[in-house]
Amino acid sequence: MNADPAALTVKASASPAPPVETSTSQSRPARREDLHFESDRSLAHNDATGSLLQTHGLVKIYDGRTVVNGVDIHVRPGEIVGLLGPNGAGKTTSFYMIVGLVPPNGGQVLFNGHDVTLMPMYQRARLGMGYLPQEESIFRKLTVEENLMAVLETLDLSRKERLARCQELLERFSITHIRKNVALTCSGGEKRRLTIARSLVTMPSLLMLDEPFSGVDPIAVNEIQNIVQDLRKSGLAILITDHNARQTLELVDRAYLIYEGRVLREGTRDFLINDPVSRELYLGDRFTM
């Protein structure tokens, strides 16, 4: 095979999001212009110093409507960062601009000192940007081992190196016992582990996870969280966007709350769940961890 390992086509449908219920308490900001950015003052380094990934002023306009308006985020090596926000807030669009699925109308995406704003996904992957889509990205009719080898064969490695790398990934994700099983017959958790293993074949330094907790049972959620924690220990930078706020906040070092196309809050889990504005506009009064 000679296809690029990162040249995966992901079709993201943009269906209208349902209205989000918010609190009607008297403390609710009355006007959009009353909402100002605030960050967690407990963060030792809340600037972009030493960051692997940075965005500067990302803007996206659809049909004359600005859906993302000046989003700045950063992720450091060995850090897990979340993108949160209600439906229609702009978090998914921001994430897709970082991944390379959606071209921005303004702003920059910088990765490891490179301006990747207009780079196609396969070139970003060569620099070390890994992407795990929400949908299964496996060859369903190939075996687990063949799924890994299909990507490894696109790399400039000897056969011995490919086999060693394949064995390493099989062992790392506890799928050695199903290496000869056709992917179609694997359980949901096994398919997810295989998908993550495939995304790491190229040894990225950043992994971007799109809705990793969507449609999986509680046991699988816990398994994914453990895998992500282990990846962080190896120095991998991780960016997550997911509608499941609780599972995401359990995992991240810090998160950005995006509201009406802007970053409204940045902070740790404790900062966000105790912030009145975050609870009012996104988490809800009854949210607990």
CATH number at residue 220: 3.40.50.300
Q: How far apart are CA 68 and CA 262, in angstroms?
A: 6
Q: How far is CA 285 from the centre of its chain?
A: 26
User: Taking the model in full, what pTM does it have?
Assistant: 0.83
Side-chain-facing half-sphere of 57: CA atoms under 13 Å: 3
Q: Are strands 65-71 and 129-132 parallel, antiparallel or unpaired?
A: unpaired
Are residue 147 and residue 175 in the same domain, yes or no? yes
Question: How many C-beta neighbours within 10 Å does residue 57 have?
Answer: 13
CB 240, CB 81: distance < 8 Å:
yes
Average pLDDT over residues 172-192: 93
192 occurs within a structural domain:
yes
Angle between helix 159-172 and 144-152 (nearest 10) = 130
Are residue 145 and residue 266 in the same domain, yes or no? no
The SS3 of residue 49 is coil
pLDDT the model gives residue 91: 96
Domain count for the chain:
2
Q: What percent of the chain has pLDDT over 70?
A: 85
Average pLDDT over residues 3-10: 44
Are residue 146 and residue 270 in the same domain, yes or no? no
Residues facing residue 83 across a β-bridge: 241, 256
Q: What b/e string do you get for 223-233 counting C-beta neighbours within 10 Å, with b at 16 or more?
A: bbbebbeebbe
Q: Does residue 9 surpass a pLDDT of 90?
A: no
